[in-house]
Amino acid sequence: MYYTKLILVVALLSLCTVTTGGCWGRTEVDDLAFVTAIGLDRGEDNSLYLTLQVTVPRAVAGGEGGGGGGNNNKTSLITTMRGKSILGLIDLANTFIDRRLSFVHGKVLIIGEELAREGLTPYISELVRFHEIRRTMFLIIAKGTAREFITKNKPVLEQNPAKDLEMLTLAGEKTGLIPTSHIHRFLVEMQSLGEESLVILAGVNEREQSKQENESNENKYEDNDNILHSGLSPITKSDTHYIAGSSPSVGGNPVELLGAAVFRKDKMVGEITGEEMRYVLYLKGAFKQGITIIEDPFADGKFIAADLRFGRPVQIRLTRNGSKFHIKILITLEGGLIGSQGEEDYTNPGILKVIERQLSTEIEKGCNNIIEKAQTLFLADIFAFGNKARRLTTTWQEWLDLNWPEKFPYAEIEASVKIELRRTGLLFRSPQTTADSNNP
Amino acid sequence: MATEKKIGIREAIAATIYFLSTKLLISFPQHMAEMGETAAWIVIIISFITATVGFLVVMALIRRYPTMNIVEASEEAGGSVLGIIASIGYFSFFFATTVLLIREFSETVSTALLPRTPLSVIMGVFIISTFSAVHMGLGAIAGTALIGMPLITVTLILLNFLLLPQSNFDVIFPLFGPGLRTLISRGISHSGIAGEILFLGVIANNLDGRHKMQSAGLISLAVAGFFMVMSTLTYCAVFPYPLSLHITYPGYESSTLIYMGRFLQRIEVAFVFLWVISACIHIALSGYTAVAIVQNIFKLPSYRPLLPAFAVLAFTFALAPSDIPQAMHVDFMIVKTYGGLVVFVMPLILLLISRLRSFAKADRR
């Protein structure tokens, strides 16, 4: 009896070990090819271009790359196919890629601008049903094509393409110059009546690109001074008022993530700059931290840098008067001066007050401008004010009848900003050219 | 009848909480969203309040027969015909729960984790492991539930906490979804979602401290209700209506969304491990309850000889729904909708009959 029981227990345990371990679908890690980026572009005749960036494990581990990083072609395999369905093309890819494609380590989904303007529902829908695709993958809209973004991406500091793509998006998010944009958030916002999507905008810096082409053609380094003298892209009123691919910069990776693509439902309807993105984050209450630059009110042509964050959560009051909606937003920021080109003495409280007022006015103006742009140009509530309007209704039918997307462009919206500068950086007073004579 | 080892009140509470709340890990939140739209969590509150009233009715019936469990008490109160009908109703509820949970959980594992393993193999493993537990007896299952209690508690709290960055509580408005009246009627009609509370009535004679059964039931309902409301609220905040209707496996899908930076992500596997344990405990409990009811109906000395037949039946019936949407529809729209009639309304009818008989007897005297 004892032996029968023992045999039964051993048999049962063995059965569980074999079956629950997933041995039926046994796949060794070195049988898999890990896709880190998926690119989608519009093709001719209602077709689709699918670009896959597949990591080359040996190169990432340091064997081929030689520790230099910077060469996407060595650390990854990039392939483009044309067809009707994403999953069909993935099967096709396995006819020339010698490992089974796996998407479990996918980091970004990049969509070409043209396709984004047509609508993303069919493609996102096809992907999120597939169990290997994670909804936490970053969603990026590429100016130009997704293929161009993937092929031109030359990571300099990172050898691992997956890490490079993730670091690139996370670094941008920290500055508040790009939105937080995961597939899941897009799906939520796309189906919502109370908000519209903002997706990370990516572009290839043409100047940097042409420089690299010159380098390879002439097989020598171009003199950096020539680049500076010939001039970078023209600068704008602010150091962050650019969209991806147009920033006045050279050196490093030619691809950049800056600004956002604006969506109405699943279709891209416009784009906003990095600076405008930050105003949207202020208004949504989603801003974390970032440096704001204003012109010094005491010195023409000089600038002041303030590191700001929320002093308290953004207050949004939404009221309804018949069919008219009024929204009042109070943004309270605090932080410190971290840089100043002027020569003021910041121990004088009056000076700080003036700077606080100047900062408030600038940010308030920026916020009201982007609100106006959203109401008149995009007709899209990218601030999620509609989610606050939900509270005005008690049933879903009432909410549907309210028809927020129609009401948003006519809402009266007023943003005000209050700023407290609590610190002045590592200096109370700025260094003075005439310090000896004026300040003994 | 052979006497089963008695279990303590703590084990009974742990087992009942498992029994009530494990359905959170399958498509339960999605079905609640179908019922309550943005107010899915309110449907659960109403259902649990109704189930509490139903449980008090069950307790009132059992109290009239202090040495009997719900099956014996039903037969005593309603006579052989009505009593047997009631017992068959109880059995059907628990057997259907067992069968459908086996199918739904196996499908979850198949879709999300082991897509290349045949469904029948996954189901077979679930059935063999859980029916082995049932063979070991109520004490073994309830003891495992007690040991595993911290696991599921911590899992649910952690899951809700880690999903906070993905949550937006503005989207739970409009607060009353389809309207308060509809919410109340749907909540009451879906009281079957807490129908597993009848388990305490079935094991009444196996409880060490039968007099504490009512408080054990109320504690279990309160704790399980709290977790289910909180988890469904989080689900509604992460997957706003109508997106909440689209998710096949809400528990799994929610866990894949955890993203707290580069170093804390892709941790769903840890949750799945605990969920499988929870599912096994749930299937073992419902399987045990179903066979215990049959044992009582036929007044058998032991339920164990029934197990192989039940395992084969469970396997066969679990494969009966042609696809996963059909299995889920049967579970939530039929079993959990009309289950309330069987597990709560039937005891109420029997209680009234029993009282009328008492009055009639007293009058005759």
ipTM of the complex: 0.90
pTM for this prediction: 0.89
Residue closest to A371 by CA, chosen among A311, A331, A429, A425: A331
Residue B364 lies in a domain: no
Per-residue pLDDT at A65 = 44
For residue range B341-350, list pLDDT tens digits in order.
Answer: 899 999 999 9
Nearest to B174 among A16, A25, A399 (CB): A399
Domains of chain A, first to last: 31-208+231-272 (no CATH), 281-429 (3.30.300.210)
pLDDT at B212 over 60: yes
Whether residue A327 contacts residue A317, with contact meaning beta carbons closer than 8 Å, is answered with yes
- Is B57 a member of any domain? yes
C-alpha separations of A54 from A35, A162, B287 in Å = 4, 9, 47
**Angstrom distance (rounded) from CA B214 to CA B224:** 15
> Does any CB of chain A come closer than 8 Å to the CB of residue B248?
no
Query: Coil, strand or helix: which one is A179?
Result: coil
For residue B221, the distance in angstroms to the closest alpha carbon of chain A comes to 28
Q: Is residue B111 less than 8 Å (CB to CB) from chain A? A: yes
What residues in B contact A187, CB-CB < 8 Å? 243
- CATH number reported for the structural domain that contains residue B227 in this entry: 1.20.1740.10
Please give the Cα distance from B344 to B53 (Å, whole number): 9
pLDDT > 70: what percent of chain A?
87
Does B218 map to a domain?
yes
**Percent of chain A surpassing pLDDT 90:** 48
User: Quick one: pLDDT at residue B1?
Assistant: 44
Is B312 inside any structural domain?
yes
Q: B151: domain range?
A: 7-355
Tell whether B1 is covered by a domain.
Answer: no
Considering only the beta carbons, identify the residue of A15, A188, A391 that sits closest to B128: A15
Q: A350 vs chain B: nearest CA distance in angstroms? A: 40
Say if the Cβ atoms of B117 and A396 lie within 8 Å.
no
Question: In chain A, what residues touch B38 (CB-CB under 8 Å)?
Answer: 396
The pLDDT of residue A227: 56
Alpha-carbon span A431 to B9, nearest angstrom? 76
CA distances for B36 relative to A186, B30, B174, B230, B329, angstroms: 24, 10, 11, 15, 16
Low-confidence ranges of chain A (pLDDT < 70): 18-23, 62-73, 207-237, 434-440
- How many domains are contained in chain B? 1
What pLDDT shows up at residue B54? 95
A182 touches chain B (CB under 8 A): yes
Q: Which of A160, A144, A140 is nearest to A152 (CA)?
A: A144
Mean pLDDT on B288-294:
96
Give the contacts of B104 (CB within 8 A, at least 6 positions apart): B26, B27, B324, B327, B328, B331
Beta bridge partners of A141: A111, A201
Residue B363 belongs to some domain of the structure = no
Contact call for B171 and A387, based on CB within 8 A: yes
Burial call B290-314: b when 16+ CB within 10 Å, e when fewer? bbbbbbbbeeeeebeebbeebbeeb
